[in-house]
Amino acid sequence: MVDDVGTITYANQRAHEILGCVAHPLAGRAVAEVLAPLDALLAVVPGQQQARPVVLPDQRQITVGYSVATTASPDHRARHMVCFQDITAWQAVMDERNRLLKLAAVGSTLPTILHELKNPLAAITAAVELLCEDVVDPPVLSQLLAVLSEIRRMRLSLDGVGAIGREIHTSRCAAIDHTVREALLVLAGRAQVGSVHLRVDVADMPLLPFDPAVVGAVVFNLTVNAIQACAAGGTVIVHARLIERGRWFELTVADTGAGMTHDTYRRCTELFFSTRRTGSGIGLALCHQIAEGGGGRLEIASVPGVGTNIVFRVPVTAPPPREGA
């Protein structure tokens, strides 16, 4: 029970347990100290349950579901009965459900959206390339090349998202070293805009049975994340090579950015999780899925204030299909 000035007049044992105040009586304390300001509690539809985060005395955060009923005491002063429960576990289940619904929505609509975007983009690319061949005026040619660079960056961005659900291995071999260099050449402009130094070391490799679009998506997502993690003057280093006598393909992206906190590190490969307001939360999750789907692994090492090092490693030969797959 809470009086009309926000002071707790009564709390049962369960209230003490939920709020972590077993050894400290709640009666006589301000409800704002342990739950929420009275105005916030009353700013709900009577009888309907609301939810809000609450930080406990031991600094743990829980989610509390509550409702408020107001009555009048014999002295005509308002009394507010606040009924609440710990719904942290339920909220976690709902968050996971919403995440899976987002994934289902993306999976069902993304192919159509990408198809509608890539076709006209390919036509625009071809038209600009033809113009570049015919134009002789240096200033105009420079502008056309800038447009072409942006179009290629857009195409790389679309491939970066469109690789969801695709396998890296394919029956046709391709010049993957060329794919990696081309992707990094497109991203060099992005690094330059942010005053980030992009260093590239891509070894010459034979033709590999990889899908160039999927490899390009991995390069794009890991490198863009690294560039965005760096402040002006930071450095991103990208290595691509074959290791273990050509049996494995390895891509390493290291940055001198802010690094990850423990919580961010724990969730960084979770789909739709992002610490940036405009982030999609797809990049690392996608790279992790591609690596594991190809029989490889994504290794992440990060130190707050120092930077992050990510190694994408997959076997050149596709692993045998899993039983029951």
Q: What is the pLDDT of residues 143-177, one digit of tens each?
A: 888 888 778 777 777 765 665 667 899 999 999 99
In the predicted structure, residue 278 carries a pLDDT above the cut 60: no
Q: Which 3 state secondary structure label does DSSP give 307?
A: strand
Q: Encoding tokens for residue 121?
A: 């983009």
Which one is predicted more confidently, 38 or 299?
Answer: 299
Pick the CATH number of 163-315 from 3.90.1150.10, 3.40.1010.10, 3.30.565.10, 3.40.50.720: 3.30.565.10
Q: Where does the pLDDT of residue 41 fall: very low under 50, low under 70, confident under 90, or very high at 90 and above?
A: confident
Whether the domain at 2-86 and the domain at 163-315 fall into the same CATH topology: no
Please give the mean pLDDT across all residues of the chain: 84
- The residue ranges of every structural domain in the chain are 2-86, 163-315
Helix (H) / strand (E) element for 12: namely none
Question: Does residue 279 carry a pLDDT above 60?
Answer: no
Q: What is the full DSSP assignment across 169-207? A: EEEEEE-HHHHHHHHHHHHHHHHHHTT-EEEEEE-----
pLDDT tops 80 at residue 113: no
Given a contact cutoff of 8 angstroms between Cβ atoms, the answer to whether 154 and 96 are in contact is no
- Please write the tens of the pLDDT for every residue from 44-99: 766 667 888 888 888 888 888 888 888 776 766 778 888 888 888 888 878 767 76
For residues 110 and 164, the answer to whether their CB atoms sit within 8 Å is yes
Confidence of residue 105 (pLDDT cuts 50, 70, 90): low
Q: What percentage of the chain reaches a pLDDT higher than 70?
A: 84
What pLDDT, on a 0 to 100 scale, did the predictor assign at position 238?
96
Instruction: For residue 231, give both structure tokens.
Output: 């402040």
Residue 237 reports pLDDT greater than 70: yes
- Residue 262: count of CB within 10 angstroms of its CB: 9
Q: What is the per-residue pLDDT for 180?
A: 94
**CATH class assigned to 2-86:** alpha beta
Longest dimension (CA), the chain: 92
Asked if the model's pLDDT at residue 209 lies above 90, the reply is yes
- 228 pLDDT exceeds 60? yes
Q: What percent of the chain has pLDDT over 90?
A: 29
User: For residues 313-323, b (16+ Cβ closer than 10 Å) or e, as one string?
Assistant: bbebebeeeee
Name the band, by pLDDT with cuts 50, 70 and 90, for residue 231.
Answer: very high
Higher pLDDT, 291 or 93: 291
User: What's the mean pLDDT in 24-29?
Assistant: 87
Global model pTM greater than 0.75: no
